[in-house]
Amino acid sequence: MIKSISYNNDEILKWIIDLYVPEGQFHLDPTYSKGQFYKGTIPQPKIKSDLYPKADDIIKADAADLPFDNNSISSIMFDPPFLAGYYKDKPTGIMGNRFHGFRKMEDCWAWYDKCLIEAHRILKKKGVLVFKCQDTINSGKQFWSHTFIQNKAEELGFYQKDLFILLAKSRMVGHNHKIQKHSRKFHSYFVVLIKK
């Protein structure tokens, strides 16, 4: 049975592929990084790209400005950075150094907006965009990224087909999170969008 929740990335991705990606593998992953999604049972995407490629077979490209023709891609697995709040010249810490990040969540959301526009451009009609995201708190304020993404996607002409929730049994706690003022996020989302 395909459910809307799981503790396992592979399980959710397999469900999404079974339901919405008839080719059996994603066509493009524009934030491939080290390919962590594909270390288990999920097939490698046909095309891999990243702003900071970690291997020779990965195309160097910003997910907001991709080198692909209009209406040329059938499916996209998009797992962008969701961090914000660094105060030096560049992101710091384990997550910041690994995945990059943004100074403010508004900067992150502005980039998400550009990436959604670009995904809509390159996707074929009825193409699938799977957008992994996590809600977060920045400067003491809640940022509901999954809602922002769903609203922007709908404005662009995407249909919101499905939503999966990845649960976590534990999360890293940063040095500045000792005094808790909000619930700690133990989940992230896979928003499944179809280009109308």
pLDDT, average across residues 131-157: 91
Alpha helices (H) in the chain, listed in sequence order:
9-20, 93-99, 105-122, 145-156
Residue 110 pairs in a beta bridge with none
Give the CATH number for residue 181.
3.40.50.150
Structural domain span for residue 162? 5-195
Strand locations in the chain, DSSP E? 5-6, 28-29, 47-50, 59-60, 73-78, 123-133, 136-138, 141-143, 158-167, 187-195
- What pLDDT score was predicted for residue 99? 47
pLDDT digits 0-9 by tens, 113-141: 999 999 999 999 999 999 999 988 777 78
Residue with tokens 């998400």: 112
The pLDDT-based confidence of 98 (bands split at 50, 70, 90) is very low
Number of structural domains found in the chain? 1
Provide the 10 A C-beta neighbour count for residue 169.
6
The pTM of this model reads: 0.88
